[in-house]
Structure 1
Amino acid sequence: MTRFKAAALQMRSGTDPEKNAETLARLVREAAGHGATYIQTPEMTGAVQKNRKGLMAVLKPEADDIIVKTAAELAREHGIHLHIGSTAIAVDDGMIANRALLFGPQGDILARYDKIHMFDVDLDNGESWRESAVYRPGEKAVLARLPFAAIGLGICYDVRFPDLYNAYGLAGAEVLTAPAAFTKQTGLAHWHVLQRARAIENGAYMISAAQAGTHEDGRETFGHSMIVDPWGKIIAEAGNEGEAAIIAEIDTNAVTAARGKVPNLKNIRAFALEEARALTEV
C-alpha cells in the first residue's frame, strides 16, 4: 500500500511560452508547498495558440524548450515527480509533437508520451479542428512505473478511447491520466462522464489537469480539472475558470479494493462479432 499527495494544476495558458513557464513555476511551488509529490499540468502547458504560423514561431526542439527546462528545475528544486501533461515540441519532419513529459526528483525525464489520437472534429457550434494537419500522432502507449504508483499516460482526446486505458489497467496501472484542453462545448457534454468512466472501468485513479477559460487566441476551454478515485467518486475538482491547484491523497490500496469488488479486468473474455440480418420479403 502506498499513499501520496497528487496535484492537478489548472491553467489558462496564453501564446507566450515564457509567461506560461512563470505561471507553471508559481503553481508548482504552491502545490509542492501543500505536500504534493506528484504534480500534473494540463495539455498545451507551454502555449495555447490556434494559429499554426504563430505556434511554429515560438516552438523549440525538446532540448531547448523553456517548459522542459523549467520543469526539470522545478522537479529538482522540490524533489517531486512533475508530469507536464503536454506541451508542443518541434520535431524534425516539420510537424509538432503534442508531448507529455514526466520528470523525476533529480530533474531527469523518466517518460515521454506523444498524443496518439488526433482531435479531427466538426462541432455543432461551428468549431472545426484538424489536429492531424499540424501534429504528428504518437504510436506507443506509455506506462510509467514510479516508486509510488504505476501511471498510464494519455492526453485529452485519448480519453474517448477506452481500449488505451483498458490496456493500462490490464498492465497494472493504478493511476490513469488525461490532462486536457477540452473545448467548452464537448466539456459540458462529456468531461465528467468520461473521467469517471475510465476510472470505474479500470478500478484506478484518474487525474486530469485542464486548461480553463477564454484564452488569448480566442478559444474557450472547459476547466474542471479533477481527481477521481477507483470507485468513480470525484475527490477533487476545480471550477470552470482560471488557475487552481487541486490536491488529493492517493491510496493505492483503494485500487486493490475496487478491483476486488468488481474484478472486470480479470473477467475479460475474447469473443467474436456476428452480424444477424433480418430476412426481407420480396
Structure 2
Amino acid sequence: MANYTTADIKALRERTGAGMMDVKKALDEADGDAEKAVEIIRVKGLKGIAKREGRAASAGLVVATVADDGQGQVGVLVEINAETDFVAKNQKFLDFADQVLAAAVDSGAQDAEALAEVEVDGTSVKDLTDGMQAVIGEKIVVRRLARLSAPAVELYLHRTSPDLPAQVGVLVGTDAKAAEVAHDVAMHVAAYAPDYLTREDVPAEVVDKERAIAEETTRAEGKPDKAIPRIVEGRLGGFFKEHVLLEQAYAKDPKATVGKIVEASGGKLTGFVRFRVGA
C-alpha cells in the first residue's frame, strides 16, 4: 500500500480541487508521491473533458473590476461556472478566475467567445480552462462577459452565502452627479433584478406580447369592452414597474422610484449589467 496520510489527501484535494476518491487513487498509483499524483490527476482529467461536456455547470462565481479609461471608467464583469460549490471556493479555481478577469480587462474582449481566444502566458483562455477541468475534474465554463463604460461605474458584488465567492455581480454606469447614489442603486439592482434601464429599452415585441396577454386576461375576466383599453394599459404599467429599473420601487424607500432617487441627485444613469451565477 502506498505511504500517505489523511493530511496528504487533504492537502492534495485543496491543491487540485479533485474529489477524494480521485486523489486516493492517484496517490496509490504514484506510490504516495504528491507531485506524480498531481500529474496523474491532470492527465486523467484531460481524458475526461469530453465526458463532462453534457454535465451541468450551475455553480461558480462572478468576478469584476472597474478601472479608469481616460474618458471615464470601464467595468468588466465575468461569470465562470463549475459543477459544485466545493470547486467554486477552491483556491485554484479562484486564482483561475482572477487570471480570466485579467485577460478580459487587458484584451478588451467584448464577449465570452472572444475571451476564449485571448492569450494568457503563451496559451489561450480556452486551453487554460481545459487545463483547469483536467486538474479539478469538473466541467468549467467561462459563461459570459460584459463591459460597461460611463463617466463613473459602480461595482457591487454580493455573496449569497458567507463561505462562497460572489454569486451576484452588478455594474452601474452614471454621470458624475448620480455617482453619489450609484452604490445604493447597484445594491437595488442585485436584489430586484431589473431587465431594462428605461421603458424605451423594452423591445417592441416584448411590449406587444405583454399587451396581448393583458388584453386576453382582461377579456377572460368579463370586463366591459369600453374599460378594457384602460385596464390593459394599467396592467402594462405594472409590467414596466416590475422590469424597468427606473420605474421600480426603490429598495431603500419603496414610496419613491429609482428614477426619482436618481433625478434628485441631479444626475442620470447610463446603463447597468447584472449577472447571477447560473441564472
Q: Is this a same-fold pair by TM over 0.5? A: no
User: Which range, TM-score by smaller chain?
Assistant: under 0.3
Bigger proportion of residues as helix: 2
Structure with bigger gyration radius: 2
Structure 1 length-normalised TM: 0.25
TM-score w.r.t. structure 2 length?
Answer: 0.26
